[in-house]
Amino acid sequence: MTTTPAEPDQAALEARQAQLQASFDATIARHDRIEPRDWMPDAYRKTLVRQIAQHAHSEIIGMQPEGNWIGRAPSLRRKAILLAKVQDEAGHGLYLYSACETLGVSRAELTELLLAGRQKYSSIFNYPTLSYADVGTIGWLVDGAAICNQVPLCRTSYGPYGRAMIRICKEESFHQRQGFELLMTMMRGTGAQRAMVQESVDRFWWPSLMMFGPPDAESTNSEQSMAWGVKRNSNDELRQKFVDMTVPQAEALGVTLPDPDLRWNEERGHHDFGEPDWEELAAVIRGNGPCNAQRMAHRRAAHDDGAWVREAATAFAARPAPAPTSAPAEATHEEATR
């Protein structure tokens, strides 16, 4: 029987594919890193782009709620702290966009996908900041939740994402402490200041719990993401860790957490807590939260306002190399000091 030339090629291709898949699976099983140069399944790449882009967009949109208070900070010290924090979030966005670019998709493309409503950002940034106490509460609860979620991501299976997370987590720890310190200062202040803190915590508690995503039974991506080592813990595991970490901090601050079902369970060795309103999370993710339209409008306007900067940078990068000049070369340091 004669074989067509295509058949052996096809078989060789399949064997090569199986070899690449086996090498990928073995790397994941060893808990080693996958690097940009390594072969990876398309679905793994797609999952990473989805999660890292969503994370990057969250950092950038997340600058808005706190940025709202930069011009109204109560003192120069608070203003300097807040400016530094919001600037850090921009940096986090850039590390994450860079990590995503190693997967073959540019920051410009990711921004277009966000603006077209085809990629998400965290639900938490669709809630308003109504008082300066919200700056402290975001640091304490929102950055606290982000740390719980992101410390395990330092061990994620994709190298550039894990390395970006190490640096981000160090800065998030500072953010959480500054939030706690701000709230502690207000709790030592007047009755009105204490009431402001409590009101802020009441508003942010449940949305902070929702940051970890839907319950495990409804989390469509968790099983595959955990099998690939992209996520190291389930949504519910991390939510529990956050509650256990936060309850003693609330006691130290002197605020109550707005959950009548919150109590220590001796048998489980964890706190029991009430069920967040999952319909509210679904509505916010669908775009119907209190500030979704405002956040996206602001992000779009910032993008449009920055068009001239992108154009100027592109033109500068594309300029012809300067012609060599006939001027004498500058004296070296040694010649000049001889």
Q: Which residues bind ligand FAQ (CB under 6 A)?
A: 50-51, 54-55, 58-59, 62, 89, 120, 122-123, 138, 142-143, 146, 149, 210-214, 219-222, 225, 231, 235, 285
Alpha carbon dihedral 124, 130, 131, 135, in 10-degree steps, equals: 20
CB 53 within 8 A of CB 94: no
Residue 39 or 174: the one with the smaller Cβ distance to ligand FAQ is: 174
Least distance (Å) between residue 64 CB and ligand FAQ: 9
Q: Which is nearer to ligand FAQ, 164 or 211 (CB)?
A: 211
Q: Categorise residue 287: left if φ over 0, alpha if ψ from -120 to 50, beta otherwise.
A: left
Distance of CA 80 to the CA centre of its chain: 23
| Total residue length of the chain | 338
Question: Can you tell me whether residue 34 is helix, strand or coil?
Answer: strand
**Shortest gap between Cβ of 184 and ligand FAQ (angstroms)?**
19
Q: Which is nearer to ligand FAQ, 189 or 274 (CB)?
A: 274
Closer residue to ligand FAQ, CB minimum distance, 146 or 194? 146
CB 195 → ligand FAQ: shortest distance, Å? 24
Choose between 55 and 271: whose C-beta lies nearer to ligand FAQ. Answer: 55
Please tell me the distance from the alpha carbon of residue 258 to that of residue 198, in angstroms, as a whole number.
9
- Residue located via tokens 């590390």: 95
Closest approach, Cβ 99 to ligand FAQ, in A, equals 12
Task: State which residue has the least CB distance to ligand FAQ.
Answer: 62
Dist CA 236 CA 209 (whole Å): 10
CB of residue 252 to ligand FAQ, shortest distance in Å: 21
